[in-house]
Amino acid sequence: MKTVQQQLTQFLAHITQVPPLDVALADASGCILAADVIARSAVPPTALAACDGYAVRAKDVEGARPTAPAVLPVAHVITNALADPIRLVDFQAIKVSSGAALPIGADTIIPLADTDRGTVRVAITDSRRRGQHILPAGADMHEGDIALRAGTRLGARQLALAAGLGYPRITVHPRPRVVVVPVGDELVPPGSPHHGIYDANGPALRTAIQDVGAVAIQVAPLPDTPSALTEAIEDQMVRADLIVTTGGLSEGENDTLKDVLLHLGDVRFDHIAMQPGRNQGFGMLKVQGFTGDEADHVPVYALPGAPAAAHVAFEVFVRPALRAMAGYSELYRPALTATTTTSWRSPHGIRQFLPAHVTGTPDGGYEVTPVGDPEHLDNLTLSLVASANALAVVPEDMTDVATGASLPCLILED
Amino acid sequence: MKTVQQQLTQFLAHITQVPPLDVALADASGCILAADVIARSAVPPTALAACDGYAVRAKDVEGARPTAPAVLPVAHVITNALADPIRLVDFQAIKVSSGAALPIGADTIIPLADTDRGTVRVAITDSRRRGQHILPAGADMHEGDIALRAGTRLGARQLALAAGLGYPRITVHPRPRVVVVPVGDELVPPGSPHHGIYDANGPALRTAIQDVGAVAIQVAPLPDTPSALTEAIEDQMVRADLIVTTGGLSEGENDTLKDVLLHLGDVRFDHIAMQPGRNQGFGMLKVQGFTGDEADHVPVYALPGAPAAAHVAFEVFVRPALRAMAGYSELYRPALTATTTTSWRSPHGIRQFLPAHVTGTPDGGYEVTPVGDPEHLDNLTLSLVASANALAVVPEDMTDVATGASLPCLILED
């Protein structure tokens, strides 16, 4: 049997980042930046008023206070933030909006609140120090400064910065495209009038893939027959960055899926020292180019068919791979330590990932209770898994999990 | 001036949940369930084998052990999970896959690992207790059981359950549609060849809205002229659950946006006792029906134009409203307490929301450092805001923030 760590390391060795692509800002949301974003000019390009008020020379209003205001004529009102800077004459004031270019000769903005808001003449009731409420040219960035570094995740505030610098497009690792292939003669889509077992893994994996920020392409459940499987997988390979199959690996079944994948590329199947989800496989499938002599490769991961096992194996192996493809450096979910409210025996040499319910607070600590019976993982039904909010991890060398034992728990975001 | 709490309470009073809608599972991902999901039949409908192995009667293999295996003829191999249950004859075994219907008369599944995996005759080397590895009919749910309760967020595992129950569609609060209207004569879209200030709020708000799980409809920046604003907002009202404007509220500017919104409905503008983002407004706009005598209402929120202030006001007022519209009961981001690494003076009676950098761990505690100078919030440039990962909150009555003071911090997910 292979350890979880061996399986993860070997699978991740087949994974590469999706090649950088220039995309519109609207398509970059949530992606990882693949090239530094540089300020193409100073920001701001000229000194700006940083609040609504009156541009003055500090020395003209020195000592102004409520009982002895400095009164200046208002020479101009700048209503257009784009107007070229105008010149301030000594002992005058120019009314400005926040963001307007600082009038030439002005060195201070007096906020509206420290004035009588006059339009012809303004009484200034508070004198401020020179430079107040002015954003100097280049205060934010100089030309050539790195505004955003490659590797940054592009959320709202990072995209605001790129937009503010004038970039309509940006170079990112685009979202990986993942094709989901549920396999099983017995599977029918939810709502199908045909006799069968409703495919739960397809819809679940589609959402789990989207939650990582990737694009899911869900294929209708496929029968466990070589021609149908081969045709569907070959069809999908050309548009996939990763193919994920689920089912078709039970030892009681025929080995159709294994045979098909082995025929399409270099794939291995192993028993993994974990519960649930003992039977899994991965490898590289060969994509034949249109000319026949080119060959490209698409990684594939074969998940178990039992929904709880498929969910766990996706979390443990496929999710980190999708994060790596998308350009993240941190591949794993945050873990916290919780004490168990119950006890059970865990098989020696096996790492358990138990759907569980975690409660608690950072200050008060956390408690964890597995959903269902950890000694009978066959009972991990869809409703039990749906009620969990975490995966409790029992290390390989822990066989007696005592009540109160500390276990690392992976918190599932939803 | 109004307090932050007054503004929030008054705005949320105008907000209602988006009416429930029946959607395909693929469109329900991340939505809040609006009606209980009921099991329409027992799950599983009949007893199932819960692992790959041999179905037997426990009394036929009693006492089997490696030195004295029980050897039974293999009467049948069930390869089709959908086949009707067949009858097990005494002192025989039937090979089954996990998920197959339990043969009539069988009460135990012997896992493959406890056998010689024989195909004609099987030697069973371990006897187990009755009922082992069998999932009884109704073990997961009985007909009429509530599988998922209204109010549940539909992540991967919840959708797996709905799919497994056979539901192709599900009743949810659909994603709110939010129209973003940046206002300002000086604004041009990023990449525009025209002279102007690049619109940073449009792209930022689009992403922030999507991050809440809502649908963003971004309008190109609009000039501050009554006809253009009125036309654009009236056009968008029919497809919006919420309209968000940004800009056009500076006191130095003319009051075009205020006048337009006041003309279109019942809207109020106030000074809010917060930094950044003093000038904000909200209300209800009237949508005229096609017949002329129907009237519907769309809520509107008017955000400040300065990017840092727009970001903060979105977080404080609009994000909770979007969560409420989407059916969430918990409207607010998780907060943690961090100690400050620096000191500053905060105005009395004003609640500060300072873009800040939080570091630390649950065990070691957290430290917070505002980005930029909290006494000069005019300096909150796009690059400073983009480098933050939290908003530090200074309460209204705290005027001297000492180094080491404890502040609540809202963690920004990205």
Per-residue 3-state assignment (H helix, E strand, C coil) for A277-329: CCEEEEEEEEEECCCCCCEEEEEEEEECCCHHHHHHHHHHHHHHHHHHHCCCC
Segment 200-219 of chain A within 8 Å of chain B by CB: 200-208, 210-211, 218
Q: Two tokens at B389?
A: 């990962």
CATH number of B4-18+175-325: 3.40.980.10
Residue type, A286: K
Distance of CA A169 to the CA centre of its chain: 19
Q: State phi, psi for A123 to the nearest 5 degrees.
A: -100, 120
Banded model confidence at residue A295, pLDDT cuts 50, 70, 90 = low
- Residues in B closer than 8 angstroms to A224, CB to CB, are none
Considering CB atoms only, which of A30, A191, A208 is closest to B168? A191
**Tokens linked to A306:** 């039992």
- How many beta-carbon pairs below 8 A join chains A and B? 273
Q: Where are the domain boundaries for CATH 3.90.105.10 in chain B? A: 21-41+146-173
- Of the partner residues B98, B197, B378, the one whose CB lies closest to the CB of residue A250: B98
Q: What is the CATH number of domain A335-411?
A: 2.40.340.10
Contact (CB, 8 A) for A154 and A33: yes
Contact A204 B133 (CB under 8 A): no
> What distance in Å separates the CA atoms of residue B331 and residue B380, rounded to the nearest whole number?
26
Residue B11: what are its φ and ψ, rounded to 5°? -70, -45
The token duo for B167 is: 């539901």
Domain A21-41+147-173 listed as CATH 3.40.50.10540: no
- CB contact B194 to A (< 8 Å): no
| Three-state DSSP state, B292 | coil
Cross-chain residue pair B252–A207, CB shorter than 8 Å: no
Predicted confidence (pLDDT) per residue in B300-352, tens digit: 999 999 899 999 999 999 999 999 999 999 999 988 999 999 999 999 999 99
Q: Is 2.170.190.11 the CATH classification of the domain at B48-135? A: yes
Q: Smallest Cα–Cα separation from A94: which of A116, A72, A115?
A: A72
A23 touches chain B (CB under 8 A): no
Contact of A80 with chain B, judged by CB distance below 8 Å, is answered with: yes
The fold of B21-41+146-173 is Molybdopterin biosynthesis moea protein, domain 2 (3.90.105)
Rg (CA), chain B: 31
Task: State the span(s) of chain A assigned CATH 2.170.190.11.
Answer: 48-135
| Nearest CB to A97 within list B99, B204, B252 | B252
Please give the pLDDT value at position A294: 47
Is B161's CB within 8 Å of A200's CB? yes
CB contact under 8 A, A382 and B50: no
Task: With beta carbons less than 8 A apart as the criterion, state whether A348 and A372 touch.
Answer: no
DSSP state of B277: -
Q: Give A25-45 as a DSSP string.
A: HHHHTTPEE-S-EE-SS-BSS
Location of each CATH 3.40.980.10 domain in chain A: 4-18+175-325
Q: What percentage of residues in chain A have a pLDDT greater than 70? A: 95
Residues B191/B194/B199/B200 CA torsion (nearest 10 deg): 40
Q: What is residue B99's predicted lDDT score, i.e. its pLDDT?
A: 80
ipTM: 0.90
For chain B, 414 residues long, give each residue's pLDDT as a single digit of tens. 999 999 999 999 999 999 999 999 999 999 999 999 999 988 888 898 888 899 999 999 998 998 999 999 999 988 776 777 789 999 999 999 888 889 999 999 998 889 999 999 999 998 766 678 898 899 889 999 999 999 999 999 999 999 999 999 999 999 999 999 999 988 999 999 988 889 999 999 999 999 999 999 999 999 989 999 999 999 999 889 999 999 988 765 577 999 999 999 999 999 999 999 999 999 999 987 655 554 589 999 999 998 999 999 999 999 999 999 999 999 999 889 999 999 999 999 999 999 999 999 877 889 999 999 999 887 789 999 999 999 999 999 999 999 999 999 999 965
- Which regions of chain B carry the CATH code 2.40.340.10? 335-411
Q: List the single best residue of A109, A129, A133, A161 to mutate versus B (max B Cβ within 10 A).
A: A161
Q: How far apart, in whole angstroms, are the C-alpha atoms of residue B50 and residue B137?
A: 12
Q: Which of A44, A50, A83, A51 is nearest to A165 (CA)?
A: A44
